[in-house]
Amino acid sequence: MQVEFTSGGVVLRGHLAHPHPSAAATSKCGLVLCHGFPAEPPGQRNAPQSYPELADRLAAEAGWVVLSFDFPGAGASDGDFSMSGWLAAIEAAVAYLRAATAVEGVWLAGFGTGGSLALCAAGEDDSVNGVATFGSQADFESWTVDPRRFLEHARHVGVVRAKEYPPDFDAWARELRETRPLNLIGKIPPRPMLIVHGSEDESVPLVDARALADAADNEVELRVIGGAGHRLRHDPRAIAVLLGWLDRQHA
């Protein structure tokens, strides 16, 4: 089911997957899927493309209501990328899932940047029941080395579309520096957390996963997928770990 909701006046578009009616009891659990930062321009491999399919699979196999959505500037959503805008979009997605369905609890699962921001969102919102991340960075320092170059990269991959955006470059760049999952993950326990990382992640080093676990006093379930790279949503072992974790949340 294709859905629309707004965040800060920006129209976001997503996909809402419901479990089979026989899973009515389990469907009181809701999951928001957060995609990563696109690696390539639209028309090639676009970050949000495979998430509706993943949402359908998780709904069918876990019995949860699952919302996948496109962040501002990505996929079919309007707007342009900013850290504050993407964080606000997670908050809006959680609110939409609660308002549009009968779920009694909402968890977050994010891949890459989506997982990093899911940790930030859960750290600031104690109504989020738990978080799972996959190949997610501990901070965004690599983006802040040359923020103007990163802005050009964001234009190249299509998440910054408006020619005159951002209206205040310094404020936009400051958000890159100040958004730090490492500073917020410690606020999440005792709520459950799952951190999954590929041992051969070519984009985000494994040390980031260990740093996040350390920052949470190791009150996390850390799983390292041997030989796996960055795109864990395409690795059946990582999805199996997620399904097992979701099952334990319901139990």
Residue 21: predicted pLDDT: 76
User: Which residues lie below 8 Å from residue 96, measured CB to CB, with a gap of 6+?
Assistant: 3, 5, 67
Q: How many domains does the chain have?
A: 1
User: For the residues 208-225, what does the mean pLDDT come to?
Assistant: 97
Residue 98: predicted pLDDT: 96
Task: Give 110's strand partners.
Answer: 34, 133
User: For the residues 211-236, what does the mean pLDDT come to?
Assistant: 96
Peptide bond into 147 cis (omega under 30): no
Q: What CATH number corresponds to the domain at position 169? A: 3.40.50.1820
Q: How confident is the model at residue 44 (pLDDT cuts 50, 70, 90)?
A: very low
Burial of 148 per CB tally in 10 Å (0-12, 13-18, 19+): exposed
Q: What is the 3-state secondary structure (H, E, C) of the chain?
A: CEEEEEECCEEEEEEEECCCHHHCCHHHEEEEEECCCCCCCCCCCCCCCCHHHHHHHHHHHHCCEEEEECCCCCCCCCCCCCHHHHHHHHHHHHHHHHHHCCCCEEEEEEECHHHHHHHHHHHHCCCCCCEEEECCCCCCHHHHCCHHHHHHHHHHHCCCCCCCCCCCHHHHHHHHHHCCHHHHHHHCCCCCEEEEEECCCCCCCHHHHHHHHHHCCCCCEEEEECCCCCCHHHCHHHHHHHHHHHHHHHC
Task: Give 108's strand partners.
Answer: 32, 131
Q: How confident is the model at residue 12 (pLDDT cuts 50, 70, 90)?
A: very high
pLDDT digits (tens, 9 = 90+) for 93-104: 999 999 999 899
* Overall pTM > 0.85: yes
Say whether pLDDT at 26 is over 50.
Answer: yes
Q: Quick check: 164 and 131 in contact, CB under 8 A? A: no
Task: Give 217's strand partners.
Answer: none
pLDDT digits (tens, 9 = 90+) for 45-63: 455 668 999 999 999 999 9
Q: Which domain holds residue 183?
A: 2-250
pLDDT digits (tens, 9 = 90+) for 117-145: 999 999 999 999 999 999 999 999 999 99
Residue 39: predicted pLDDT: 85
